Amino acid sequence: MTLFFAVAVYARNDVYLSLSATGKRSDIAVEYFIAADEKADSVKYAKLLKEIIENDLILSRYFNVIQNAFEGDESTTAFKKKLFLWEKRGASVLLTASVSVDSDKLVLETKMFDVVSGEIIWKRNYKNEALNYRYMAHEASDEIVRKFTGEMGIARSKIVFVNDSTRFKELYIIDYDGCNLHRLTKDSKINILPKWSPNGEQIIYTSYLYNNPDLFVLNLVKNRRSIISKYQGLNAAGSFSPDGKKILLTLSRGRYPNLYLINTSGEILQRITDGSYIDTSPSFAPNGREIVFISDRPGYPQLYIMNVDGGNIRRLTTSGFCDSPSWSPHGDKIVFTMRHPEGNYDLYVYDLPTANITKLTNNQRNNENPTWSPDGRFVTFCSNKSDKGEIYVMAIDGSGIRKLTEIPGTSYSPSWSPVLTR
């Protein structure tokens, strides 16, 4: 839907393993996780944790996960022979783990070996409530990615989106891999345009709870929500500033919808635009000094960039009707939606250093509302290519498209969280 206007222990020093400069994936073997005792829960969680971590590594697109090195019982194979067989299968590193459950406490002990030398190149123990086993697995996956790349993985991130399966538009939250779906609102009203705070503790969104499109904030830590902005007319969620202290939004206040800067208490700090045209969908640059937004000042919706104080406005040259821009975490790209006359909405990336525009989707019905993953390597978006709106994820080159989850009703307006470390 388009809304225009609308405790780490390392065997060596903390040196990162290298990935190929050409983008070649590293070949990793993930051995069956061992239950440290004969408890049924230890066996169960060993299987679950292995499956989640293995899937995380595949979804990261940094690794080829090597399988099927053994014809017999892997647990009875001598360690040196294991390494030889994994090397033969093409693996360069081997991940092993043991799992135990004591009362409701879950312990995961991981080790990674160089398959040629047999040396431990990384190990870490994780402890958490058994209830949080998915978070534990994602935490381990993120650390493995960090060991190879120097940057933390995104497995602990989440996606918030809107769904109407209750006949009303409610907010839902889900893990980045399409699991662990939860409903956040139960208002039997219209809730739209959710956006994350930089620390991942809050979500702003526009709600018709009181029959006016007001701006709400939902505090996920305190499980509490409140109204931030309730001016008569449109209070459309935009984006948090990178420091989380300010919010960009569109206010109409009985006049043309323009951009405003407010603090987190709702006090207007500055009116950013002022004119007889519609300005909407603002997104902060990661430096906090610029914003990208949509305006119809040339007669149809186009991409513009300006300083956060409203100065130095310049149009980014495009050839269609634009909407929903989102500035990349690295600051060099903007992903957005564009439609040509008589065509569908597709996703594009504007490369700021070169001014080149790359098309990511190609006439597969309407593809809209893109936002970036925390590492800037993926985007999430909504598409009706399967005859109803659903949430998808793909790499920033347009490859590897996957549906996030199957859920009744229509889903749209996804927003990707930062990596959540709690």
> What is the per-residue pLDDT for 138?
98
How does residue 72 score in pLDDT terms, banded at 50, 70 and 90?
low
Give all domains of the chain, ordered by start, each with its CATH number.
Answer: 12-149 (3.40.50.10070), 158-416 (2.120.10.30)
Q: How many CB atoms lie within 10 A of CB 420?
A: 18
* Average pLDDT along the chain: 91
Q: What is the pLDDT of residues 241-299, one digit of tens each?
A: 999 999 999 999 878 999 999 999 999 999 999 989 999 999 999 999 999 999 999 99
> What is the per-residue pLDDT for 254?
74
| Lowest-pLDDT choice from 30-44, 76-90, 360-374 | 76-90
Q: What is the pLDDT of residues 317-365, one digit of tens each?
A: 898 999 999 999 999 999 999 998 878 999 999 999 999 999 999 878 9
Give yes or no for a contact between 381 and 372, defined as CB atoms under 8 angstroms apart: no
Q: What is the mean pLDDT of residues 72-101?
A: 86
What pTM was estimated for this model as a whole? Answer: 0.92
Q: What is the pLDDT of residues 198-221, one digit of tens each?
A: 999 999 999 999 999 999 999 999
